[in-house]
Amino acid sequence: MTSKSPQPVTFKPSGPLTGKISVPGDKSISHRALILSALAIGKSRISGLLEGEDVLATADALRAMGAKVEKKDDVWTVYGVGVGGLMQPDKALDMGNSGTSTRLLMGLVASHGITATFIGDASLSKRPMGRVIDPLSEMGADIHARETADHKACLPLTVRGLCPAVPLEYRLPVASAQVKSAMLLAGLNTPGITRIIEPVLTRDHSETMLKGFGAQISVETDAEGCRVISLTGEAELQPQKIKVPGDPSSAAFLVVAALITPGSDIVVENVGINPTRAGLFEVLQTMGGDISFRKKRTVGGEPVADIHVKHSALSGIVVPGDIAPSMIDEFPILFIAAALADGKTTTSGLSELRVKESDRLSQMAKGLRLLGVDVTEREDGLTIIGSSGKLLVGSTGKKMIETALDHRIAMSFAVAGLMTKSGVAIDDITPAQTSFPEFENLIAALASR
């Protein structure tokens, strides 16, 4: 990825948000749609694909490994090379800011007889890769990563795949859909059964889509209540036509914007509401948010609905720690909702947020304080005292919010700007391009109706 110069923007109060809109395609499903299509034999078609930088990084990497990936009239066509058919890329794969691209593609390379080097931006290069290196090495891949001063394995790293790899039974030590998916992708080209034991349920898009492509995969619950996912390799995948639903993690910013801004009444159409992703909506409803789901339907095995949201007086709550995996990307925007709620919101069980695109607990605490919010940072969560719907002070001029190359920090504080006296200046809006390039336009469109 080419690095862009930072683009500071100030987000100001806008009046009520009204109207009907839709958000771009789901990021997680878009990555998986491209990857599985590249592994099928023949031509798959994908509509609604997110054209954010993260997903485009996955598309470029798949091209570099031999798949033909092209776009015409809003439909993406992927000519897959078949499981086992990937070619060795002739240069390093640039993953930009995308942890999902990196971890999933590491799994893919691990069981092919090829070698690939992964590089990324400053944020991605700080993120821990040991969690995927461990199981993939047990399957036989030879992986060399840069070791940081605190002994973390980070990018740049090189994966030398083993073909055939060794099937593994592995209990996930962290609740991570990326680790689970990396192993499933490695398992596709591995003879025998790759089995993953998941003590805490994480997003299940890989399992659903693998079934859709015709892989032999079963999901059971064991005596201890863990999910046990068994995949039989070497798989043959059939090309598919995929419709990617709108991303609930992007819709989240508009939902919270409407909840906190007086007079707002919006509908976000065609949003994925898979229960492994929809925790934020449940938490906001518990806080008193007027959120309802219309026209519930299933698209490509994924539950989808139109989400109707009206401005609401929110109350602070204790957010149960066990809901975290189903809203792991939504805490930054939940913290903004909490900052405008009545009373105290307490969150816990969030140490994973410290290893996302930024340390999201510390970046959010710092930014909220700049806006005049009373916030306490603990190792695994934040406690926030809300303003009961009163405008926050804001932060403009030199006191800019530090985005730290994190799209969700940038967009969360942009939403907070709607409910401040003076607005919120953020130091860089360009990270929004990774997952939600239309963000600024959509907020402006809702504000001008």
> Residue 130 and residue 241: Cα distance in Å, rounded?
35
Q: Locate tokens 């590249």: which residue?
A: 38
Q: How, if at all, do strands 115-119 and 93-94 pair? A: parallel
Instruction: Return the range that interacts with ligand S3P (CB under 6 A); candidates 109-117, 171-179, 231-239, 260-268.
Output: 171-179
Catalytic residue list contains 329? yes
**108 in contact with ligand S3P (CB under 6 A):** no
> Residue 65 and residue 89: Cα distance in Å, rounded?
5
**328 in contact with ligand S3P (CB under 6 A):** yes
Taking the chain, what is the end-to-end CA distance rounded to the nearest angstrom?
36
344/354 with CB nearer ligand S3P: 354
Question: Least distance in Å: CB of 420 to ligand S3P?
Answer: 27
For ligand S3P, which residue of 100, 189, 274, 358 counts as binding (CB under 6 A)? Answer: 100
Q: What residue number has its CB nearest to ligand S3P?
A: 28
Structure tokens at 145: 């990563």
Instruction: Return the range that interacts with ligand S3P (CB under 6 A); candidates 176-184, 192-200, 251-259, 381-389.
Output: 176-184
The contact mask relative to ligand S3P for 14-53 (x = CB under 6 A, - = no) is --------------x-------------------------
Question: Least distance in Å: CB of 435 to ligand S3P?
Answer: 8
**181 in contact with ligand S3P (CB under 6 A):** yes
Q: Catalytic pick from 247, 329, 406, 428?
A: 329
**250 in contact with ligand S3P (CB under 6 A):** no
Instruction: Return the range that interacts with ligand S3P (CB under 6 A); candidates 136-144, 172-180, 260-268, 299-307.
Output: 172-180
120/386 with CB nearer ligand S3P: 120
CA atoms within 13 A on the CB side of 432: 25
The contact mask relative to ligand S3P for 182-221 (x = CB under 6 A, - = no) is --------------------xx------------------
DSSP of 294-353, one letter per residue?
EEEEEETTEEEEEEEEE----B--BPPGGGGGGGTT-HHHHHHHHHHSBSEEE--S-GGG
> Residue 299 and residue 151: Cα distance in Å, rounded?
43
Q: Locate tokens 């006296």: which residue?
A: 421
> Residue 269 and residue 208: Cα distance in Å, rounded?
22
Question: Least distance in Å: CB of 306 to ligand S3P?
Answer: 23
Length of the chain as a residue count: 449
Spatial neighbors of 134 by CB under 8 A, at least 6 apart, are none
176/250 with CB nearer ligand S3P: 176
85/303 with CB nearer ligand S3P: 303
Instruction: Return the range that interacts with ligand S3P (CB under 6 A); candidates 175-183, 233-241, 307-315, 437-445.
Output: 175-183
Instruction: Return the range that interacts with ligand S3P (CB under 6 A); candidates 71-79, 173-181, 275-283, 369-377.
Output: 173-181
DSSP single-letter state for residue 93: E
For ligand S3P, which residue of 302, 329, 406, 428 counts as binding (CB under 6 A)? Answer: 329
Q: Which residues pair with 192 in a beta bridge?
A: 233
Structure tokens at 64: 């570099």
Question: Least distance in Å: CB of 54 to ligand S3P?
Answer: 9
For ligand S3P, which residue of 30, 58, 101, 176 counts as binding (CB under 6 A)? Answer: 176
Instruction: Return the range that interacts with ligand S3P (CB under 6 A); candidates 147-155, 165-173, 177-185, 222-230.
Output: 177-185
**178 in contact with ligand S3P (CB under 6 A):** yes
> Residue 149 and residue 97: Cα distance in Å, rounded?
21
Burial class (CB in 10 A: 0-12, 13-18, 19+), 13: middle
Count residues contacting ligand S3P (CB under 6 A)? 11
Residue of 133, 125, 116 whose CA lies nearest to 3: 125
Instruction: Assign residue 270 a region (left: φ > 0; alpha: ψ between -120 and 50; beta: otherwise).
Output: left
> Residue 306 and residue 421: Cα distance in Å, rounded?
32
**Residues near ligand S3P (CB under 6 A):** 28, 100, 176-178, 181, 202-203, 328-329, 352
Residues serving a catalytic function are 329
